[in-house]
Structure 1
Amino acid sequence: MAAQTGLSIATVSRVLNGRANVAAETRDRVLQAVGGLGKRAPRRRGAGVPKADNGVYVRCPYVLTDYFGLIVSAVTEALDVQGMHAIVDAGESAWKRTDVLLTLTAWPQVTGAILILPPEPEEDLERLRDRGFPFVVVDPRTAPPRNIAAVSAANFAGARRLMAHLVELGHRQVGVLGGPLSWMAMSDRMAGYTAPLVGVGVFPPPELLRTVTDPTVQAGRVQALELLDRADRPTALVCFNDKMAVGALRAAVDLGLRVPADLSIAGFDDIDVSQATTPMLTTVRQPLGEMGRMAVSLLSRMLAGQDLDALHIELATELVIRGSTGPAPDQR
């Protein structure tokens, strides 16, 4: 590589190990030489010849709740069917390992990786790609860089269908309890929420949007209380996930509001808690298990040396209507 680029061995080594003290032009020269800059998704070197250990690194730096747990379980089961096994790195300890991606190429027991909602910056994903290491991103936090395989849910379509349902019920004053605006899922859902309202001549006022960095039950309750304390309180709340929707239900109880007679509430995900509330939650079902299985399918094709015609895959969502949504109060 050094001979091909005219650079020193030490400089090439610094680039391939992700060191920061390398000029951008120099890094590009080295990555171009290794076939980087993403002409195709990475494939395992010597594809078709298995490594001594068919381990797949599964990184999910979050507590394995009924959201992330469903994805990880589907991944591990699908890997077993493919004759591979998962090396799971999850929870708070995984979050603290901020530089783990750039070490994966040196792990002899790992042949590829599945990264679930990775918090690492785009540059780290690009460096891993440019080293030819096969991996798939599930539920990407931001728009995936070019030629990186990714699987997500159709957030825009799901949010649009949910808001269309509320618009059909006569709701025009709708509050949004959202997650981080920097997340791709949130920006896609906001676009989906907005479209049906604009279609009936309503431009959502920014003061009806609340966002949080950690979309929990308590965060949903706090933000819902703020919106419902307004003189022009919304007739419906759409929430980033089902947990925030549970918090919104608690806020409604605190204020003596009846759901859905006085206030409609909807979530997103369709995890088990959505059916454990009274009334049960209207929500958007994400295909969490299928997202994990699709990621394994893409990775196994990459490991077999196959080209991927579609790198960024969105799986369909489904609106599930239950008892927490009803006609707007002024429509009764």
Structure 2
Amino acid sequence: MAEHAGVAVSAVSLVLNGKPGVSERRRAAIRRSIEELGYVHVHRPQTALRAVAIGLVMEALSPEAAKDGFMAEVVSGVEQGLRDHDMHMLLQLCRAGDDPLRDLEEVTGRRVDGVILANGGDVDDEVVRRVTASGLPVVLLENYVEESARTHAVTADNFTAGHLATTHLLELGHRRIGMLLGSTRYVSLRDRRYGYQAALLDAGIQPDSDLMPAQEHGEQIKGYRQTEHLLRLPEPPTAIYAVSDKSAFGAYQAIADARLRIPEDISIVGTDDVRQSQLMSPPLTTFHVPTFDLGRAAAATMSSLIERSESDRVIPARTSLLGSLVVRGSTRRL
């Protein structure tokens, strides 16, 4: 029947069992095929049906990285989004050198129907290439591979995050603005740096490498040592843009230890708008990233790939979800 209707087998299953996740055009094609073939569907209990299983592969987070809840919100969005399309999520944590497809198959005893690869890090370009080469539907989440335009991706608008946060500080009169960089293993953090640099250039300010100290590998308190570096400069910055709220929290501690005040002595803007940001003293000005919606959008993209027939041509696209600047008490006008 799937071949007769020109759709995927999973789409036929969804229609026969009265489930969402199939476009009206394909639903009509399946119904026409049912009539033309004289097909009689015998309903079976849901437990007897083969569930559509989607692997969500992400790197194993350190306890510190897991505290802010950013990825927990993303995962929750993926799970809810897949559930809305009558699909099931299988979470697989990936470390360097792992084969996530093999690991998923060993756990489930069968091949998954699609894979969402999240957030970079240990889910590096090699993992992306290996999973993409399997022929399964693949969606990258808060990540993309620059040299390949063949894989669907859903990301936050991270360039705009860096650009808008820096522009906010420029509009307050700051001209010497430091940035707390993140790991180069994550394209989202790199794009935020590009946004910061572009905003400075738009204002006629040449980015200064002294104002962009690199994050030290294995640093327990993100942003702390970078902020110490900035405060020791002969001409310290009057404001700091942090690549993440977690780094901004480290900056708060370093500034307090230096007996300086926020925002009286130095202004700070973060990125992500995690729950703790509004509980800081003063509350942190930050760029809100729609984490739950990121997960749901990735699930919706996966649903469209699962639903399509082999003859459909789906042009890969990178979808960026818009965020917004949340102005609180950590910034002031000079």
1:101 is the counterpart of 2:92: no
Which of 111, 114, 118 matches 1:112? Answer: 114
Q: CA deviation at 1:135?
A: 1.8
In the alignment, the residues of structure 1 paired with residue 303 and residue 100 of structure 2 have an alpha-carbon distance, to the nearest angstrom, of 22
Deviation string, structure 1 residues 33-88 (Cα, Å, up to 9, x no partner): xxxxxxxxxxx974535582322111122334401100001111111121111111
Which of 225, 228, 235 matches 1:225? Answer: 228
Query: Which is worse superposed, 243-252 or 192-201?
Result: 192-201
Q: Is the 8 A contact 1:177 1:209 kept in 2?
A: yes
Deviation string, structure 1 residues 97-150 (Cα, Å, up to 9, x no partner): 612236668952521111111434434423432332012110116537221111
Q: 1:193 to 1:76 in 2, by over 3 A?
A: same
Q: Could you tell me the TM-score, scaled by structure 2's length? A: 0.77
Q: Is the 8 A contact 1:47 1:303 kept in 2?
A: yes
**Equivalent residue of 2:196, what SS?**
helix
In the alignment, the residues of structure 2 paired with residue 102 and residue 49 of structure 1 have an alpha-carbon distance, to the nearest angstrom, of 28
In the alignment, the residues of structure 1 paired with residue 127 and residue 265 of structure 2 have an alpha-carbon distance, to the nearest angstrom, of 48
In the alignment, the residues of structure 1 paired with residue 110 and residue 51 of structure 2 have an alpha-carbon distance, to the nearest angstrom, of 8
Q: CA deviation at 1:158?
A: 1.7
Which of 3, 8, 11 matches 1:48? Answer: 11
Query: Which is worse superposed, 287-296 or 55-64?
Result: 55-64
In the alignment, the residues of structure 2 paired with residue 252 and residue 318 of structure 1 have an alpha-carbon distance, to the nearest angstrom, of 26
Residue of structure 2 equivalent to 1:314: 320
Letter in 2 for 1:81: D
Q: CA deviation at 1:234?
A: 0.6
| Root-mean-square deviation (Å) | 2.5
- Equivalent residue runs for 1:78-93 within 5 Å: 78-90=81-93
Q: CA deviation at 1:215?
A: 8.8
**Equivalent residue of 2:241, what SS?**
strand
Number of residue pairs the alignment of both structures matches: 282
Deviation string, structure 1 residues 135-193 (Cα, Å, up to 9, x no partner): 21101165372211111011111211111110011111111101123532233222211
Identity %: 30
Residue of structure 2 equivalent to 1:243: 246
In the alignment, the residues of structure 2 paired with residue 215 and residue 283 of structure 1 have an alpha-carbon distance, to the nearest angstrom, of 24
In the alignment, the residues of structure 1 paired with residue 51 and residue 285 of structure 2 have an alpha-carbon distance, to the nearest angstrom, of 45
Q: Is the 8 A contact 1:270 1:283 kept in 2?
A: yes
Q: CA deviation at 1:199?
A: 2.6
Q: Is the 8 A contact 1:215 1:243 kept in 2?
A: no
Letter in 1 for 2:71: F
Q: Is the 8 A contact 1:174 1:208 kept in 2?
A: yes
Which of 170, 174, 177 matches 1:174? Answer: 177
Q: Could you tell me the TM-score, scaled by structure 1's length? A: 0.77
Query: Which is worse superposed, 178-187 or 163-172?
Result: 178-187
Query: Which is worse superposed, 114-123 or 153-162?
Result: 114-123
Letter in 1 for 2:304: R
Q: Is the 8 A contact 1:79 1:296 kept in 2?
A: yes
Residue of structure 1 equivalent to 2:208: 205
In the alignment, the residues of structure 1 paired with residue 294 and residue 266 of structure 2 have an alpha-carbon distance, to the nearest angstrom, of 33
Which of 254, 274, 279 matches 2:277? Answer: 274
Gapped runs of 5+ residues in structure 2? Answer: 1-6, 14-48
In the alignment, the residues of structure 2 paired with residue 227 and residue 248 of structure 1 have an alpha-carbon distance, to the nearest angstrom, of 10
